[in-house]
Chain A
């Protein structure tokens, strides 16, 4: 009897859900906001280009006018913070990097998504939050509240030139950093011909912190912050090992790598001057359309001595709390549409990277986009959501990491003294800015979504 009751209840719930799904439509939900103009923050990257291209479909269906405001990545946090501090209400849909949620959520500049998902008129019953990879939902959860819908989501990948590796006697890419450094690079590097085994984007700024520093911290067992003891851990023996290893790779890289950013490294790889790079999955469209052709190989990043930890980065859309309710609801409808299951495939086809399991794991999609399989594997097994710590004082924190990280890479200071100085500066800054009280640990939020 008990199971019969349960079955009836389940059937009734399913029916209600299906009925509601039939009842809900974007055009009807958007009817009250017809004619509303919303402003969306975007970046000059492939995901946003295709999103802009597809936006007229949303405008046609809803009558909501969407204006894109595109910024270089380096200026985005500044522009959005100034928008909030001055209460200028310029932006309705806020773009948050994976390290900014606490900056926006703590001062209540953005609304938790429950504000909208609890409203049956606005919430698409097919939103299906569980379709997003857990690590991405955890990354945009602050104090157990989800604030953003993931969009433009990256994993660090190893891109390699199949022909160059084959010519050096290798059938496949390296699987460990040790193998990469000691077996592959000596055979792949010929400085007299200006051919290099590996290039690591290391430009000062976020590239140095997220790409050049964190990449050699986690796989060696290091981390930025010890949450339990509230200490900065960048000079732990594991961290020293990892950064020392990084310094050992410099002899296989082009001169001046310390000043090279993503674009230069990708270009050198595309020009076949470099055999391997570790870059974001978002660069696949650029590399697949270069003259590498079938030489382009993609694999997960190599493992370190303490396990597989690949670079983790990307964005989510949030809704500003400062704009009026009409704008908030219209902006929510837009970001819900943009990050929906239905839009995932058209976005991927257009060059975007999304965090929807249904699309990224679809074999027919993976067959067309070889960056997806290693990306999915990375998100499921080999990354951490706090690849960079979520601190309200993160901008200055990252600046200090990048400053000392660059000095170490330039050889201006030794690894151990450099990391000790980094730790000293970070600890002093964390204390003076009262930053320990404004931390979000997304690793803890993983339990909510697993």
Chain B
């Protein structure tokens, strides 16, 4: 069998795509890109521009003021203290949420007590489903010094009534307790999802190897869970930094400023003091802090199992 001339001819080179073909994919993604820019990037750019202006609502038009608002924010003890409270809230609540969340995730993963497991799943949804401002109002009632059920329960075990909401430290501890109650279920669900990524065969092999839970958890389950743990850390840090409704409805950051977190201080500057320029600068600084913390989490905790 001999090759014909046609067979020997070099294959035809594909025609270069026309400009229409080149643009076509862009048309498909353009709506999403525009939407993302509009709802994501535009507010950030607008806030950044506002942060460079001397702008007090109702006191004349904004004027360019360079980095004055940033300098003012760094020098403000008010803002500094609120950031400090926010970081303390993260440092205390996040590890507790992770530990409790992990325990709940492991309980959910257990093959025993199917009915209790189901009940636990339902209970987990309740704190997430309740509106944060309602959580705040419930907290007001439950932690009320004279009428609240918390002090009634403490009284039953012989502990005298605590002025939960009237004293600065007690009020901050109250916020921490409620924050942990509200967000632990979310962490548990994220960790539960992470636990489901552990390959069944490996897990079963580990169970054959040892009956003790700790080596199985440490050497088999935990390595697969790091991406989930990182996600929980990043989400929870962001949620805590922007937590507003719950704390505000407990007592508007009081008594004094003892439960005022950075986002509440920023809201106060913007909508009580009407200093939009300063509030914008503080918002940008908090955004930078969130990004830095997220990068640290990813660098320290994130690792994937091959």
Contact = CB atoms under 8 A, between A and B. Distances in A.
Interface of A: 74-75, 78, 81-82, 84-85, 103, 107, 194, 203-205, 255-259, 273, 392-393, 395-396, 399, 403, 406-407, 409-410, 412, 433-435, 438
A258 B56 CA distance: 29
24 contacts: A81-B274, A82-B57, A194-B146, A204-B254, A255-B163, A255-B167, A256-B166, A258-B254, A259-B165, A259-B166, A259-B171, A259-B251, A259-B254, A259-B255, A393-B56, A395-B273, A399-B268, A403-B256, A406-B254, A406-B256, A407-B256, A410-B255, A412-B168, A412-B256
A402 to B, nearest CB: 9
B257 interface: yes
The contact size tier of chain B is 20 to 34
B91 to A, nearest CB: 22
A204 B58 contact: no
Contact of B145 (A75, A255, A433, A434): A255
Given A203-B252, A396-B274, A256 B145 contact: yes
B58 A392 contact: yes
A273 B256 CA distance: 24
A393 to B, nearest CB: 7
Contacts of B275: 396
B272 A204 contact: no
B58 A85 contact: yes
Interface of B: 56-59, 78, 145-146, 163, 165-168, 171, 251-258, 268, 271-275
Contacts of A204: 252-257
Contact of B163 (A78, A203, A256): A256
Nearest to A259: B255
A395 to B, nearest CB: 5
A221 to B, nearest CB: 27
Given A81-B57, A393-B56, A258 B166 contact: yes
Contacts of B78: 403
B111 to A, nearest CB: 49
B155 to A, nearest CB: 13
Contact of B256 (A74, A103, A258): A258
B271 to A, nearest CB: 5
B110 to A, nearest CB: 43
Given A399-B272, A438-B59, A257 B166 contact: yes
B58 A84 contact: yes
B264 to A, nearest CB: 11
B272 A256 contact: no
A410 B56 CA distance: 30
- In this complex, the member of B253, B274, B275 whose beta carbon has the largest number of chain A beta carbons within 10 angstroms is B274
Given A255-B163, A399-B272, A203 B251 contact: yes
Nearest to A102: B58
Contacts of B59: 392-393, 433-435, 438
Contacts of A407: 256-257
B151 to A, nearest CB: 12
A392 B274 CA distance: 11
B168 A78 contact: no
- Lowest 8 CB-CB distances: which A-B pairs, in order? A256-B166, A396-B273, A406-B256, A259-B255, A258-B255, A255-B163, A259-B254, A78-B271
Nearest to B146: A194
Contacts of A85: 57-58
Given A78-B271, A257-B166, A259-B166, A396 B252 contact: no
Given A203-B252, A256-B167, A406-B254, 17 more contacts: A74-B272, A81-B57, A82-B57, A107-B58, A204-B254, A255-B163, A255-B167, A256-B166, A258-B166, A258-B254, A258-B256, A259-B254, A396-B274, A399-B272, A407-B257, A412-B168, A438-B59
